[in-house]
Amino acid sequence: MNDLPLFLPCAAGVEDLLLAEVQRITGGMGERRRGGVSLRAAWRDVLALNLHSRLTQRVLVQLSDSPYRSEDDLYEAARSVPWDMWFTPRQSFKVETTAQHSPLKSLNFATLRIKDAVADRFRDRTGVRPDVDTQQPQVRLFAHLTAERLVLYIDTSGEPLFKRGWREDTGEAPLKETLAAAMLAASGWDAQTPLYDPCCGSGTIAIEAAQIACGMAAGGQRRFGFERLAPFQPALWSQLQAQAREQEHPPTAPVFGSDVAHRMVDFAQRNADRAGVAQAVQFRGGDALQRMPPGDAPGLLLLNPPYGERIAVAGVAGSGSAAARPARGGREQAHMEGEGEFFERLASHWKKHYPGWTAWLLTPDLKLPGRMRLKESRRVPMWNGPIECRLFRFDMVAGRHEASAKQPG
Ligand SMILES: C[S@@+](CC[C@H](N)C(=O)[O-])C[C@H]1O[C@@H](n2cnc3c(N)ncnc32)[C@H](O)[C@@H]1O
């Protein structure tokens, strides 16, 4: 249990950030892979990674890696894994399969063969066949097929790690907590400068930031799959949890969020309460086009602004406003124009009132800098689920707006 091969999947674009985080948490060097990080680590690290990682989706222990050509090979490979070291036939399980360039015709059939092999092995050794539960399994197994190899993993996280245990209230398009954390990491926020999300929705970015500013563990409010696995030692887990709580401190930076929808501000506040950071983050209502900088010192604006039909711009530049109403064309046109105007006005507002601030915006709209009439100083590719996005950085240079506004002529 001291030298386990682990795989930590993450959103595409986040691998390098996760690599650095893994090193911070375990002290060990991982290896960057496509869509994740692999490393060798002790069981204690498995618990620590689950508790502290903000970027990975789950922590998987690799149990076998074998060549295959047919479904029968999958069956044999899965049957030779000593599953009983990890769980008992009284526990329900589920197999999830992913594949890349696999020659097999049916992923469902491949999954079925692997599941049968696991159950048959238990039945042969103990006389009991474990149940499969595809909804709420007690144990999750993952199978990954490449063109020629089958890799089998046991999951130690349970529910994916973006579920931190504090979010009950969400808006229409909440960010995953892991993606909000990736935005914070990519921005290089040092947890010392003020942080403000002026389109905060249910508050994901601000709440993640507030927890970081308070030194809180990402998983302090949830349960984990490893608590049901055979190697689980409650004393070790209690020790790690206690150590994590000892590291908590008052916030090192002020964190703010606001949203034009007051219902969202309510959600964000309730989520912050549950996340234990009600005192470390301030939520307000208000239009991003009108809100002045919170606090005195410049800081970081970090947001995923409204985009498209689903999360339309609201407030003074919203599609219902006279300014944004098109002379002709449909609702979509209204949204496009409302959005174009929103971003242009947002940029002017920031240039005028937020000198010295740095703004980072996550958007699937690759033309956003053009709409804002700003030149980005960085663009970081990131995936929001299947949607390709960019995290754009804009520097609100102090004085530039005034300087150009005062030019004669
Ligand atoms: C994509 S969502 C942000 C989701 C958020 N990051 C979360 O995790 O819940 C965009 C948010 O912008 C808000 N919004 C739309 N127009 C706005 C405006 N003019 N000023 C401030 N917020 C606005 C919407 O109410 C919505 O909550």
SS3 readout for 389-409:
EEEEEEECCCCHHHHHHCCCC
200 and 330, same domain (yes or no): yes
Residue 175, ligand 1, Cβ within 6 A: yes
Q: How far is the CA of 201 from the centre of ligand 1 (A)?
A: 5
User: Is residue 160 one of the residues assigned to a domain?
Assistant: no
Whether the CB of 9 sits within 6 Å of ligand 1: no
Q: Which of 155, 186, 208 is the last residue of a domain?
A: 155
Same domain, residue pair 116 and 202: no
- Whether residue 264 has its Cβ less than 6 Å from ligand 1: yes
Here the CATH number for the domain that contains residue 89 is: 3.30.2130.30
Tally of domains in the chain: 2
Over residues 346-375, the pLDDT tens digits come to 999 999 999 999 999 999 999 999 999 999
**62 part of a folded domain:** yes
C-alpha 204/C-alpha 323 separation (Å) is 31
Pocket test for ligand 1, best of 197, 199, 208 (most atoms within 8 A of CB): 199
Q: Which atom of ligand 1 is nearest to the CA of 342?
A: 19
Reference 309, options 277, 283, 350, 339; nearest CA is: 339
In a domain, 231, yes or no: no
Q: Does residue 23 sit in the same domain as residue 63? A: yes
* 118 and 199 both lie in a single domain: no
The finding on whether 338 has its CB within 6 A of some atom of ligand 1 is no
Give a yes or no: residue 141 inside a domain: yes
Are 263 and 202 a contacting pair, CB within 8 Å? Answer: no
Ligand 1 mean position to 279 CA, how many Å?
22
Which pLDDT does position 288 carry in this prediction?
97
Tell whether 212 is covered by a domain. Answer: yes
Alpha carbon distance 384, 377 (integer Å): 21
Both 148 and 200 in a single domain? no
In a domain, 242, yes or no: no
Q: Find the 199 Cα to ligand 1 centroid distance in Å.
A: 4
Same domain flag for 148 and 201: no
pLDDT of residue 409: 33
**Predicted pLDDT of residue 8:** 98
Is residue 210 assigned to a domain? yes
Per-residue pLDDT at 311: 55
Residues 6+ away with beta carbon under 8 Å from 178: 10, 11, 14, 54, 55, 56, 57, 161, 162
Three-class DSSP category at 364: coil
The residue among 341, 335, 343 whose CA lies nearest residue 368 is: 343
Asked if residue 362 has its Cβ within 6 Å of ligand 1, the reply is: no
Atom of ligand 1 nearest to the CA of 198: 21
CA of 198 to the centre of ligand 1 (A): 8
Binding site membership of 311 for ligand 1 (Cβ less than 6 Å): yes
Query: Any idea which residue has 């809100």 for tokens?
Result: 291
156's CB contacts (< 8 A; 6+ apart) are 46, 50, 58, 59, 60, 61, 224, 225, 226, 229
**What's the rounded Cα separation, in Å, for the pair 178 and 53?**
9
What pLDDT sits at residue 339? Answer: 72
**Residue 356 in domain:** yes
99 shares a domain with 187 = no
Give yes or no: residues 146 and 185 share one domain: no
Shortest-distance atom of ligand 1 to CA 313: 16
Residue 361 near ligand 1, beta carbon < 6 Å:
no
Helix or strand holding residue 370 (H, E): helix 368-372
pLDDT digits (tens, 9 = 90+) for 51-74: 999 999 999 999 999 999 999 999
Alpha helices in 188-261 (DSSP H): 204-213, 234-246
286/339 same-domain check: yes
The ligand 1 atom nearest the CA atom of 204: 8
CA dihedral (264, 265, 270, 272) positive or negative: positive
| Centroid of ligand 1 to alpha carbon of 224 (angstroms) | 31
pLDDT of residue 385: 86
CATH number at 390 reads 3.40.50.150
188/323 same-domain check: yes
Q: 60 and 100 in contact (C-beta within 8 Å)?
A: no
What's the length of the chain?
409
User: Given this model, what pLDDT does residue 1 score?
Assistant: 78
Residue 288 Cβ contacting ligand 1 at under 6 Å: yes
Domain that holds residue 28: 4-155
Distance, CA of 301 to CA of 356 (rounded, Å) = 11
Q: Pocket of ligand 1, candidates 259, 270, 303, 316: which has the most ligand atoms within 8 Å of its Cβ, to mutate? A: 259
DSSP characters for 63-125? EEEEE-SSHHHHHHHHHTS-GGGT--TTS-EEEEEEESS---S-HHHHHHHHHHHHHHHHHHH
> Dihedrals φ, ψ of 260, to 5°?
-70, -25
Query: 93 and 196 in one domain?
Result: no
Q: What is the dihedral of CA 206, 207, 209, 213, to 10 degrees?
A: 130
The parts of the chain modelled with pLDDT lower than 50 are: 322-329, 331-332, 334, 401-409
Instruction: Indicate if 214 and 119 belong to the same structural domain.
Output: no
